[in-house]
Chain A
Amino acid sequence: MSDFKETLKAQIIEQLNLEDLQPSDIQDDAPLFGEDGLGLDSIDALEFIVLLDSNYNIKIADPNQGRDIFYSVNTLADYISKNKQ
């Protein structure tokens, strides 16, 4: 699981153009959105949906789920592992 999270962090950095960050800069349980975390915004939420679809063939039917799924690397990794096709 920890290798998978590192891979996921690298994919997040690439998809969101977080050019100044390394995977080690992203804490597993830190919030991704808002000022307390990476400061991501609504466009990044759309980029997450693209990331899940293109890399894991996961489609999020209800956008309202995003708030919980994209909360942190932990919640995102957990959702992918349960829904990966």
Chain B
Amino acid sequence: MYILQAIASISHQEVFQKELFWSNLHALEAETNIQHPDYKAFIPANALRRLSPILRMGIACAKSCQEAISEPFDSISVGTGLGCLIDTEKFLVTINTTSGDILSPTAFIQSTHNTISGQISLDLKNHAYNMTHTQNTLSFEVALLDGMLCVDEGKKHVLVGAADETVPFLKRLQPDIVSDEYPLTSGATFMVIGSENKSDAVGIVACELSFKQRDLTTWVDAFLAKHQMTAAQIGLVLHYDALELNDFQNKLSYAPLVGYNMSAPAFAAHLAVDWLKDSANQGAVLLINNMDSNKQALTLFQKA
């Protein structure tokens, strides 16, 4: 099992550096604001001025995790579906509206997907393994698998996370490229995993991906059996889109709580962890990422 050492999220819910927050969650309205913390507490002012929201969120979550474990990360794995959209849009608009002879370097430098993990590394002066994964709605789980492999290699404090930010232009891509079922949102969730167990810990048992459509009932049965579990031992199933899994009593769609961004499953992972930390809840949590029917993931969480 991969033991969770710290976790932090910034989202449209008030969850940053909070525990047992389920009772404060609410379904998001159509127009909703992200709950930004005071970034000056995490990022020097001279660096903060250049950073777009996705970078601020990523660094603040990573540093919150760093403070919680008081040890340097042995690796950093970040997932992002669409990357640094605000800087990308700014750079492209500048190209389109000027002669393009000389362009602002900041937006260009920070428009690449790996800016999030890079800025975390720079800010923390951390020169460990640093990797960015972009696989649309599976970006978080791919980064998580990378982090789990790092733990298998013996790394003790493995940072894994995902972040995405929205821009108004995404509305023009609805519904063909971007779903219009839920509000477009931004968010970041980062966690530290390792192998060292401790009392009251929560862990990740396993994560499996599929880059093709699969029958979820068959897949879930096989996944649970592989890890010596039955449907009766699952206390909560978190899923994005509607699904029919009749063997499970307690199912909840996390989509109304997080909205649409490609890192939404990372926030759902935080929901799973927080649910397990509540001593009143019994059983494991199965997180089903079915945001895209052609790219699915199963992640199993339980108390360690």
Contact = CB atoms under 8 A, between A and B. Distances in A.
Given A17-B50, A43-B109, A49 B102 contact: yes
A62 B45 CA distance: 31
Interface residues of A, number: 16
Contacts of A54: 98, 102
A30 interface: no
B175 interface: no
A20 interface: yes
A47 to B, nearest CB: 6
B50 A39 contact: no
A53 interface: yes
A47 B106 contact: yes
Nearest to B47: A41
Query: Do most interface residues of chain B lie in helix, strand or loop, or is the interface mixed?
Result: loop
A47 B46 contact: no
A44 B98 CA distance: 20
B105 A16 contact: no
B105 A19 contact: no
A43 B45 CA distance: 15
Contacts of A15: 104
Nearest to A39: B46
Contacts of A46: 105
B102 A53 contact: yes
Nearest to A13: B49
A42 to B, nearest CB: 9
Contacts of B101: 53, 59
Nearest to B110: A43
Interface in A36-70: 39, 41, 43, 46-47, 49-50, 53-54, 59
B103 A50 contact: yes
B104 A47 contact: yes
Contacts of A19: 49
Interface in B89-110: 98, 101-106, 109
Interface in A1-53: 15-20, 39, 41, 43, 46-47, 49-50, 53
B108 to A, nearest CB: 10
Nearest to A21: B49
Interface string B100-129: 011111100100000000000000000000
A16 B98 contact: no
A50 B45 CA distance: 23
A43 B102 contact: no
Nearest to B51: A17
A54 B97 CA distance: 12
B49 A18 contact: yes
A43 to B, nearest CB: 6
A43 B98 contact: no
Nearest to B105: A46
Contacts of B49: 16-20
B46 A43 contact: no
B67 to A, nearest CB: 24
6 contacts: A17-B106, A20-B45, A41-B46, A43-B109, A50-B105, A53-B101
